[in-house]
Amino acid sequence: MNVQTLERFSLESIAKDMNFWCKASIEDLNRFKYILGPFDGLNSDLIQELLNILCEKKELKVSHLHVLAHSNIKHLDLSVCSSLITDQLITAVGYRCKVRKHGIHAKQSLLYIYNEKSNTKVVKFI
């Protein structure tokens, strides 16, 4: 018998219906510069775990990354989905992950790594 934590079970349930959770937000992202999405209340670790689940199930889409990224993210390792990484996606995720500090907009430190051997790109916010 496989025993799951409530957290893992919840994230798998969200991952199963990811298109539902992202549909309205994706439409809004095409019309507005910034939106509050359904995942803005989740911390970096939960977003990372959700990304990992979506990758394990081979159901992660670029549009999901646009909605999952938000200004409260402290770190995000996209190496699990390196095949989806493009310069355009990095720019979009970077824009969504801007933080507001003391009334001044500042981007978080962005670590961008390109591995020529495996031809993969990795993005990590620090």
* Per-residue model confidence as pLDDT tens digits over 22-47: 887 777 766 776 677 889 899 989 99
Residue 74 located in a structural domain? yes
Residue 109 located in a structural domain? yes
This prediction's pTM: 0.72
Please give the Cα distance from 93 to 43 (Å, whole number). 15
> Of 62, 52, 78, which is closest to residue 22 (Cα–Cα)?
62
**Both structure tokens of 54:** 């979506």
Chain segment 63-115, per-residue pLDDT in tens: 888 888 887 777 777 777 878 877 777 777 777 776 444 333 344 455 554 55
- Which of the 8 DSSP states describes residue 89? H
Please give the Cα distance from 98 to 110 (Å, whole number). 10
Cβ neighbours for 46, distance < 8 A, ≥ 6 positions apart: 7, 11
The number of folded domains in the chain is 1
Residue 103 located in a structural domain? yes
Range of the structural domain that residue 14 is part of: 6-125
Q: What is the mean pLDDT of the chain?
A: 75
